[in-house]
């Protein structure tokens, strides 16, 4: 304690000496003077503070003439030597600055923290120290009376001078206060009055500790950062749970304002952005807010740290609440605000005077009205308007009212204005379904505040997307001119336009089109006309009677009033010439959304308002009218129908679709696109190439939409109409819908083919085009309305994540066939019947196997394509994806014989003969789960099928023997057993019969009787043909070639040959073949025991296919001979006995004969 008091006395004595020295010599160098200011050293940890009367008694104590040094204190010596250059050790303020501005991850000792805190506190609160400030700033205090009147000893004097530092002209005082500012702002508790006003809010917001030592006192800038975040968050919340007190709000904003010129003073931002400042703004001098602006400009750079970006966003949000938080903006626009009376008006919407949006609206109004606003101020306004467009979160209204839309549609798109443009894109849809009115209004207000129509560069997303277009199409217009947007609209669908620019431009134009003032050229030319005819008010004022969106409609009505009303009016009711030109320009640009068709716009105005009022996106108006074709008024329906017919003949009329489909046209359809007369070829080409890699989503959607529209009327398909109009009139009169016409004509062609009519009723050119239409319809389930309507619920339940088109939805329904509702299942089954009989209509098969069809099946008939692919399935040249698709179709075919046209034809006599009981249990539109084919397999083993049917069943047996999935009954009954016993074999990518082999080997381990029965059937079938047993066939391939080459396959002949060779000791079989054959004999023996013959025919078959057939037959022959001899001997013996009896008893015999 004594040592501490001696140090304190020395320091205070040094203060007195220093004050005398300052009076005599003045303040030569600010740093040296500040370094030698004596202060009370801190209490050592665990000791109480010394009483205030100690310095007085210490005046007579010995002291060091050099003054007290922080570097000499033991508490900070280690941190000082580790963190600070040696040349700073003699300067207390240099040491303080070094230690408090250290790297964030570097920790100070607790005792050193405590020491530094008390040192700074005494700097601001010690009366002796305030006397230094009084001496240095004597003339300044006489000018700033409120600081001169502050109570001494509480730190108010220095804080007040910091508060008014911008008004200090005295050099030494300015330098002194500038240095003190960095000290004060390093801790919120040193800021005058801040602690008193915000103590409760700090505690309620859990923003930090007010007790010395509980936290690192040099990171107390985080407390202010926390309060600033709470303040901006409060503005973004509709319900405020713990609102910040008004006095604290003002204190927070005042602190932010005071720290606006030098980013070092915002301690939280300084520590958060220290490395980013070195990275991006190394050459930017601190002061006048320059570092802030530099960091703002790099906010969305990839290299910017998230912590710094977050701190910058918080500061920008404070600027949005009070423009004075931006030093450069407040300074540049101070005179203009006063000149334009922006601080006097109180009736402007949405904001207080200090709000950034208020300032922008007021000054933008002056600019739009042609009033003078300084270039420096306009430059600052441009920066902050761009800032608002780049980051939606700076607008509390958007954060508050568009939160749901952002989370649903626009998450993850925060940077460079992409979220705002995403919201604009969503806003172009149906407001009631996608964007709430409050969110729509918030977007509209933001666009008005930022006013991007006056300078496209404000919208960074638009600027970046359209830079190349502007450089080529609009290079003759001065950069930043409002006519740039108009130029972009004029080139909207030309070759110079790029896709991203098109999207961003239309998103912005959606909101500009809803407020006539946001087109500055229109406003400039029509301001007087709008005030005279539409009773509008100022640029930034609104009227409930004439909302912004209604003004252009008013101008439009007056521009065409004579034509509409059919009578002459006075000149006062006309628009001025300049205004009328601008109105026509806007109408011309907006007509792009209705395919540049004036007649369509004129006749369909009512229907557009009724059905398509919210469909303002590019091209949506005509699409909407086409979708509601049946609901339109007659005049509108006629023109829409005519235009749709015309588009079907020459799709290049649809500029939007052509622009979107440019890549696919250049890659695949450039030949037909270059033709002067289209005649529907280009659309047909687009449909055929809809799923090429060059196809983009927008083009695909447009082509599909046109296909769906074509379903409404066959006249909308130009080529189909021209090829089949006579046949339609003759065979399908009074049918209008295209799908019904296709069904009608297809049915006619089918019936004529089945009945083998001498002459087809449908003309050849119509049949060819009809084929094209059928193939197109197979690509999208929506193009088959009956199937689509029947399966809508199933689609939403089972295939909700599957996209339409490319037959993906149909494939999904097929894969989930067992889970479909009855109605949908029937439709899908019928569709599969048609596709199996005509594989060309199987879109997925034809798409996936397109190259393989060219390779293997060029000469095959279209209806035999699948059969051809099946035959070449195991070729080394077969594409794996195509092979997988073929397997899928084989699995489908094996579920029901009706899905295999070749089998159905070959076995048309055998099926009712042998499998009628199975047919009796089945319905027309449900699969038989392979039961009929299983029935035929058993008869094949019994060798009872007709030759044609036997050939087809042999093929099926061979295929299913390699892949167990092709046997529906086996898969149905043995799924659990396969998972339990043969999981490894089933998981193999290539199926080679190993699963069936596994089941055969583990026959004794199979628990389920149904599965065991199926495996026994397989064993039975394998006796009939060795090809049905791929493992055995592979093992015995050489032996078959050497010993059984002359034996034809089938009916067990080759199997018998191998069995005879096995029994013949003279023949040496391959070891593997011998082992496999012996295994089969054991299996067959077991099968015979488990499943005895069910009848004589089954018994005969077992004998004929038995390995001991010859022995059995020999024994049967011996038995028959023995039986014959016994019977013969018995008969002979009977005759001998009878003859002897007659001779022995002749009289008796005669008597018996007589009787």
Alpha carbons 541 and 361: distance in angstroms, whole number: 9
Give the separation between CA 413 and CA 424, rounded to whole angstroms: 13
Distance CA 293, CA 281 (A): 10
pLDDT for res 550: 67
User: Which pLDDT belongs to residue 428?
Assistant: 66
**How far apart (Å, rounded) are the C-alpha atoms in residues 530 and 549?**
12
**Cα 423 from chain centroid (whole Å):** 15
What three-state secondary structure class fits 589? Answer: helix
Cα angle: 810, vertex 857, 836; to 5 degrees: 35
- Tokens at 1081, concatenated: 């004999």
Tell me the longest C-alpha to C-alpha distance in the chain.
Answer: 188
End-to-end CA distance of the chain: 164
In the numeric block, which tokens belong to residue 1010?
Answer: 């149904």
HEC assignment per residue over 8-39: HHHHHHHHHHHHHHHHHHCCCCHHHHHHCCCC
Length of the chain: 1155
- What pLDDT does 938 receive? 84
Give Cα 197 to chain centroid, integer Å. 48
Rounded-to-integer distance, Cα 661 and Cα 499, Å:
11
Alpha-carbon separation of residue 148 from 18, 121, 138, 145, 1154 (angstroms)? 22, 21, 9, 5, 174
Q: How far apart are the C-alpha atoms of 289 and 714, rounded to whole Å?
A: 68
Q: For tokens 């050790």, what's the residue?
A: 89
Q: How far is CA 117 from the centre of its chain?
A: 52
Spell out the residues 6+ positions from residue 483 whose beta carbon is closer than 8 angstroms to its own.
477, 521
Sign, CA dihedral 46-52-54-60, equals positive
Q: Which of 15, 121, 135 is nearest to 67 (CA)?
A: 15
Task: Outline where 778-914 has alpha helix (H).
Answer: 785-790, 792-798, 808-815, 822-837, 843-848, 850-856, 865-871, 880-895, 901-906, 910-914
Decide if 575 contacts 558 (C-beta within 8 A).
Answer: yes
CA angle at residue 833 from 689 to 752, to 5 degrees?
A: 90
SS3 state at 860 = coil
Among candidate residues 105, 75, 80, the one with its CA nearest the CA of residue 94: 80
Torsion-angle region of residue 799: left (phi > 0), alpha (psi -120 to 50) or beta? alpha
CA 917 to chain CA mean position, Å: 53
Alpha helices in 262-374 (DSSP H): 267-280, 290-297, 306-321, 327-339, 356-368
Q: Which parts of 491-547 fold into alpha helices (H)?
A: 499-512, 520-533
> Both tokens of residue 469?
């277009």
What is the full DSSP assignment across 904-944? HHHTTTHHHHH-HHHHHT--TTS--TTHHHHHHHHHHHTT-
Distances in Å between the Cα of 573 and the Cα atoms of 530, 563, 581 are 11, 13, 16
Which pair of structure tokens corresponds to residue 85? 């250059």
3-state helix, strand, coil in the chain (%, to 5): 70, 0, 30
Please say whether the beta carbons of 256 and 318 come within 8 A: yes
Structure tokens that stand for 739 in this block:
């799908």
Looking at residue 788, what is its pLDDT? 92
pLDDT value of residue 208: 59
**Of 574, 602, 604, nearest to 587 (Cα)?**
602
Check if the beta carbon of residue 539 is closer than 8 Å to that of residue 368.
yes
Tokens in use for 569? 């009016």
pTM above the 0.85 mark? no
**pLDDT score for 553:** 67
pLDDT along the chain (1155 residues), means of 10: 34 31 34 43 40 32 51 81 82 75 65 72 62 77 76 66 74 76 60 71 67 43 78 76 81 79 79 87 85 88 88 87 86 87 53 70 81 88 86 82 82 74 74 67 85 87 90 89 87 84 83 81 86 72 58 71 45 80 73 52 75 71 84 86 75 71 88 70 86 85 88 88 90 89 89 83 91 88 90 92 88 91 90 90 90 91 89 90 92 89 91 88 72 87 85 88 88 90 86 87 89 87 81 88 84 84 86 88 78 52 56 71 76 74 57 46
Instruction: Provide the total of helices (H) and of strands (E) in the chain, helices listed first.
Output: 68, 0
Token couple for 1071 = 């070891």
pLDDT at 1100: 57
Question: What pLDDT does 571 receive?
Answer: 64
User: So what's the pLDDT on residue 623?
Assistant: 82
Residue 140: half-sphere exposure toward Cβ, Cα within 13 Å: 26
Distance CA(297)–CA(270), nearest Å, equals 16
SS3 208: coil
Residue 385 neighbours by CB under 8 Å, 6+ apart: 360, 449, 450, 451, 452, 455, 458
Contact in structure between 480 and 470 (CB atoms under 8 Å): no
Tokens of 988: 């193999």
Measured from the Cβ of residue 963, the count of other Cβ atoms closer than 10 Å reads: 18
Q: Which of 278, 280, 262, 273 is nearest to 308 (CA)?
A: 273
Question: What does the alpha-carbon distance between residue 222 and residue 218 come to, in Å, rounded to a whole number?
Answer: 9
Own/partner long-range contacts of 438-442 (Cβ < 8 Å, ≥24 apart) = 438/397, 438/401, 439/398, 439/401, 439/402, 439/404, 439/405, 441/397, 441/401, 442/395, 442/397, 442/398, 442/400, 442/401, 442/402
Please tell me the distance from the alpha carbon of residue 1040 to that of residue 1033, in angstroms, as a whole number: 8
Residue whose pair of structure tokens reads 């049949």 in the numeric block: 767
The phi-psi region of residue 644 (left if phi > 0; otherwise alpha if psi is between -120 and 50; otherwise beta) is: alpha
CA dihedral of 102, 106, 111, 112, whole degrees rounded to 10: -20
Using only C-alpha atoms, the chain has a radius of gyration, in whole angstroms, of 48
Contact 969, 976 (CB under 8 A): no
Determine the distance from the C-alpha atom of residue 1044 to the mean position of all C-alpha atoms in its chain, rounded to a whole number: 63
Residue 2 confidence (pLDDT): 37
Sign of CA dihedral 800, 804, 809, 811: negative
Structure tokens at 605: 């105005």
Q: Are 501 and 466 in contact (CB under 8 A)?
A: yes
Supply 1139's token pair.
Answer: 């003859």
Q: Which of 421, 497, 491 is nearest to 466 (CA)?
A: 497
**C-alpha atoms less than 13 angstroms from C-alpha of 620 in its C-beta half-sphere:** 13
């Amino acid at each position: 304690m004594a040592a501490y008091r001696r140090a304190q006395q020395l320091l205070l004595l040094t203060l007195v000496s220093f004050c005398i020295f300052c009076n005599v010599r003045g303040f030569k160098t600010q740093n040296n003077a500040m370094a030698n200011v004596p202060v009370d050293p801190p209490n050592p940890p665990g000791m109480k503070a010394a009483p205030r009367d100690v310095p007085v008694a210490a005046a007579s104590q010995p002291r060091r003439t050099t003054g007290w040094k922080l570097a000499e204190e033991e508490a900070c010596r280690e941190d000082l030597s580790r963190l600070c250059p040696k040349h700073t050790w003699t300067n207390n303020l240099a040491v303080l600055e070094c230690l408090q501005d250290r790297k964030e991850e570097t920790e100070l000792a607790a005792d050193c923290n405590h020491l530094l805190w008390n040192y700074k506190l005494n700097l601001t609160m010690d009366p002796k120290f305030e006397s230094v400030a009084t001496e240095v700033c004597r003339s300044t205090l006489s000018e700033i009376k409120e600081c001169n009147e502050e109570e001494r000893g509480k730190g108010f004097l220095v804080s007040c001078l910091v508060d008014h530092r911008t008004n200090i002209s005295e050099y030494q005082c300015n330098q002194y206060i500038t240095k003190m500012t960095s000290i004060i702002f390093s801790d919120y508790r040193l800021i005058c009055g801040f602690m008193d006003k915000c103590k409760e809010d700090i505690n309620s917001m859990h923003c930090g500790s007010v007790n010395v030592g509980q936290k690192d006192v040099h990171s107390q800038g985080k407390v202010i950062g926390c309060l600033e975040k709470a303040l901006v968050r409060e503005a973004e919340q509709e319900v405020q749970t713990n609102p910040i007190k008004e006095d604290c709000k003002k204190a927070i904003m005042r602190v932010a304002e005071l720290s606006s010129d030098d980013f070092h003073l915002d301690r939280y931002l300084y520590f958060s952005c220290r490395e980013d400042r070195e990275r991006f703004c190394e050459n930017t001098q601190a002061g006048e807010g320059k570092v802030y602006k530099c960091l703002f400009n790099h906010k969305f750079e990839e290299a910017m740290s998230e912590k710094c970006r977050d701190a910058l966003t918080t500061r920008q949000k404070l600027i949005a609440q009070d423009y004075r938080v931006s030093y450069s903006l407040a300074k540049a626009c101070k005179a203009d605000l006063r000149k334009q009376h922006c601080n006097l008006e109180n009736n402007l919407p949405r904001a207080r005077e200090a709000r950034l949006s208020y300032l922008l609206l007021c000054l933008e109004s002056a600019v739009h009205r042609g009033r003078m606003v300084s270039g420096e101020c306009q430059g600052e306004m441009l920066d902050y308007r761009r800032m608002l467009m780049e980051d939606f979160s700076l607008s509390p209204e958007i954060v508050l009212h568009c939160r749901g839309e952002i989370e649903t549609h626009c998450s993850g798109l925060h940077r460079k204005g992409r979220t705002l443009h995403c919201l604009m894109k969503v806003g172009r849809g149906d407001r009631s379904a996608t964007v709430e009115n409050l969110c729509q209004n918030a977007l509209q207000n933001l666009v008005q505040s930022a006013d991007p129509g006056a300078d496209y560069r404000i919208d960074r997303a638009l600027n970046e997307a359209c830079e190349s277009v502007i450089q080529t199409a609009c290079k003759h217009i001065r950069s930043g001119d409002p006519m740039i947007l108009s130029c972009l609209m004029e080139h909207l669908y030309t070759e110079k336009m790029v896709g991203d620019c098109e999207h961003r431009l239309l998103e912005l134009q959606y909101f500009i089109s809803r407020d006539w003032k946001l087109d500055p050229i229109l406003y400039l030319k029509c301001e007087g006309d709008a005030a005279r005819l539409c009773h509008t008010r100022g640029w930034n004022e609104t009227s409930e009677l004439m909302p912004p969106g209604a003004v252009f409609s008013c101008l439009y009505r007056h521009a065409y009033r004579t034509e509409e009303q059919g009578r002459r009016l006075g000149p006062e009711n006309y628009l001025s010439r300049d205004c009328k030109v601008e109105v026509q320009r806007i109408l011309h640009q907006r007509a792009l959304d209705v395919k540049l068709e004036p007649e369509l716009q004129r006749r369909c105005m009512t229907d557009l308002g009724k059905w398509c009022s919210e469909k303002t996106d590019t091209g949506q108006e005509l699409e909407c009218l086409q979708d509601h074709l049946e609901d339109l008024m007659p005049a509108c329906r006629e023109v829409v129908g005519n235009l749709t017919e015309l588009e079907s003949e020459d799709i290049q009329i649809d500029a939007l679709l052509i622009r979107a489909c440019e890549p696919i046209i250049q890659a695949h359809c450039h030949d037909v696109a270059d033709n002067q007369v289209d005649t529907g070829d280009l659309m047909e080409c687009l449909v055929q190439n809809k799923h090429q890699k060059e196809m983009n989503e927008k083009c695909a959607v447009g082509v599909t939409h046109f296909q769906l529209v074509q379903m409404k009327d066959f006249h909308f398909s130009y080529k189909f109409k021209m090829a089949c109009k006579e046949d339609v009139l003759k065979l399908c009169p009074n049918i209008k819908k295209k799908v019904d016409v296709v069904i009608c004509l297809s049915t006619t062609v089918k019936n004529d083919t089945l009945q083998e009519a001498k002459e087809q009723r449908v003309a050849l050119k119509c049949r060819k085009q009809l084929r094209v239409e059928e193939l197109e319809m197979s690509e999208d389930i929506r193009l088959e309305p009956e199937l689509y309507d029947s399966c809508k619920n199933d689609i939403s339940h089972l295939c909700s994540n599957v996209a339409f088109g490319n037959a993906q939805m149909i494939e999904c329904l097929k894969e989930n066939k067992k889970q479909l509702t009855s109605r949908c299942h029937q439709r899908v089954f019928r569709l599969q019947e048609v596709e199996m009989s005509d594989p060309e209509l199987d879109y997925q098969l034809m798409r996936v196997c397109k190259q393989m069809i060219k390779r293997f099946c060029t000469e095959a008939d279209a209806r035999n394509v699948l059969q051809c692919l099946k035959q070449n399935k195991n070729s080394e040249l077969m594409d794996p994806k195509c092979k997988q698709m073929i397997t899928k179709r084989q699995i489908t075919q094996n579920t029901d014989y009706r899905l295999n046209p070749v089998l159905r034809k070959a076995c048309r006599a055998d099926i009712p003969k042998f499998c009628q009981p199975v047919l009796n249990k089945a319905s027309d539109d449900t699969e038989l789960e392979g039961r009929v084919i299983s029935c035929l397999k058993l008869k094949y083993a019994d060798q009872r099928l007709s030759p044609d049917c036997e050939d087809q069943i042999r093929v099926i047996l061979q295929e299913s023997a390699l892949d167990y999935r092709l046997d529906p009954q086996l898969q149905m009954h043995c799924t659990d057993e396969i998972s339990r016993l043969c999981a490894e074999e089933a998981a193999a990518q290539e199926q080679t019969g190993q699963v069936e082999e596994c089941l055969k080997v583990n026959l004794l381990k199979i628990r389920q009787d149904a599965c065991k029965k199926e495996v026994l059937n397989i064993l039975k079938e394998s006796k009939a043909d060795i090809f049905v047993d791929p493992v055995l066939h592979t093992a015995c391939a050489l032996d078959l070639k050497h010993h059984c080459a002359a034996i034809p396959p089938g009916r067990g002949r080759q199997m018998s040959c191998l069995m005879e060779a096995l029994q013949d000791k003279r023949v040496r079989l391959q070891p593997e073949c011998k082992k496999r054959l012996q295994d089969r004999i054991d299996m067959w023996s077991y099968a015979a025991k488990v499943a005895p013959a069910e009848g004589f025919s089954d018994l005969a078959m077992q004998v004929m296919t038995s390995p001991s057939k010859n022995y059995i037959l020999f024994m049967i022959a011996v038995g028959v001979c023995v039986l014959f001899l016994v019977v013969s001997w018995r008969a002979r013996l009977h005759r001998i006995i009878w003859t002897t009896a007659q001779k022995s008893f002749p009289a008796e015999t005669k008597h018996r004969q007589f009787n």
